[in-house]
Amino acid sequence: MRAWIPVACLVLAGCSIVNDPGRHQGGQPALDAGRDAAPHQDAGTDAGPPLLPANEFCRAYAEVYCEGYFGCCSAAERPEDAFDECVSNAQYACSNGTDATGPVLGMIVADPRTGYDPRIAAEVIAEGRALVADCSTDLLRWTTERMGLQRGLTGTIEAGAECTPGPFVGLRFDFAALFSCEGTNRACVEGSGQWDCLTRRDVGASCRLYWDCLDGLYCTNGWFGGTCQPRKADGAACGSGVECESLFCNRLGLCAVPTQDDVYCPAS
C-alpha cells in the first residue's frame, strides 16, 4: 500500500496512508471491533499519562494504517480476517522493512540514539487515529512533517555535536543517526567529512533531506544534495509529495490537492 512503505515516506518522500475500518464508506462495521484503540497505559486510576513502549509502536502504527485503508479507501475489499492480516503484514514491514536497503521504522524507534519518548509517541498515534476516524487528508501532513509522526523521536545528541551515521550493515544505511539530534528544530546535516546536529535550515541553505529544512520547505535534488526551497503550489511539476504545499504529487507528476482515495488507497 502506497503510504506505508515504512519510513521511506519519512526519509525520502511524502506518502499516503490509510485508516478506520468501519466508520466510513457506507457505514461498514469495524473489522476488529473488540480491539482497544486507546494507547497503552498502566492499569489503575492513577496510571498517569498513556505510554506507548517502543516494542509496541509498530503494532499501533500498523493498526492506524489498516484502519485507514478499510475505513477510508472506497476500493477496499473486506474478506473475513482481512483486518488482522493487514495488521500483521504492516507490522512486519514496520519492524523488518520491505527490502535490504530501505529504512526500517521499528529499528529507528528502538535505537537509543533517537530518544524515543513513549508518552509523545502515544499522543502521536492518538492524533493519527483521530485523523483516520474522519478520513482526513491532513493525514499526509501528519505522516510527513517533523512535528507529526516523527515527533516522538526526541533525539539524544546535543546541538553542534557530531551525528555521523555509522557504517552500512550489509546494504542498509544507518538511518537512525538522522533522527539522533535533540529537538524537532534540529537535523543531522552532512558537512565536510562528518555530520553535525544543526538548526534546520531556511531558504537557500544547503541540504540533503527534506527535514534538514524548516517545515514548509523541501530539499531540491533530494538525497543527492541541493538547497532548501519553498514547497510548490498546485499545478507545479513534482517528483514527490514533499515538494508540494499539498504534500501530494499526482500520477501526472503535478502538485495537487489529494482526494480521500489518493491518501488512503494503494497505488495501482
CA distance 139 to 136: 6
DSSP secondary structure code for residue 226 in this structure: E
pLDDT (0 to 100) of residue 29: 31
Q: Is 70 exceeded by the pLDDT of residue 227?
A: yes
pLDDT (0 to 100) of residue 210: 84
Task: Report the b/e string of 21-51 with b at 16+ CB within 10 A.
Answer: bbbbbeeeebbbeeeebebbeeeeeeeeebb
Q: Which of 6, 11, 8 is nearest to 96 (CA)?
A: 6
Q: Is 80 exceeded by the pLDDT of residue 35?
A: no
First to last CA, the chain: 9
Q: Is 60 exceeded by the pLDDT of residue 153?
A: yes
Q: Is 60 exceeded by the pLDDT of residue 201?
A: yes
Q: Is 80 exceeded by the pLDDT of residue 18?
A: no
CB 14 within 8 A of CB 244: yes
Cell 503510504 belongs to which residue?
Answer: 3
Q: Is 70 exceeded by the pLDDT of residue 139?
A: yes
DSSP secondary structure code for residue 44 in this structure: S
| 173 confidence band (pLDDT: 50, 70, 90) | confident
Top pLDDT among 142 and 25 is at 142
pLDDT digits (tens, 9 = 90+) for 40-64: 444 444 555 589 999 999 999 999 9
| 75 confidence band (pLDDT: 50, 70, 90) | confident
Q: Is 80 exceeded by the pLDDT of residue 10?
A: no
Q: Is 80 exceeded by the pLDDT of residue 9?
A: no
Q: Is 70 exceeded by the pLDDT of residue 260?
A: yes
Per the structure block, which three cell numbers stand in for 195? Answer: 555530520
Most confident of 8-12, 99-103, 204-208: 204-208
Most confident of 146-155, 162-171, 228-237: 228-237
pLDDT (0 to 100) of residue 190: 85
CB 24 within 8 A of CB 74: no
| 15 confidence band (pLDDT: 50, 70, 90) | very low
Per the structure block, which three cell numbers stand in for 2? Answer: 502506497
pLDDT (0 to 100) of residue 14: 36
Q: Is 90 exceeded by the pLDDT of residue 38?
A: no
pLDDT (0 to 100) of residue 134: 97
CA distance 10 to 150: 8
pLDDT (0 to 100) of residue 47: 57
Helix axes 82-96, 54-72, angle to 10 degrees: 140
Question: What is the arithmetic mean of pLDDT over 80-88?
Answer: 90
CA distance 127 to 112: 24
CA distance 205 to 191: 12
Least confident of 127-131, 161-165, 221-225: 221-225
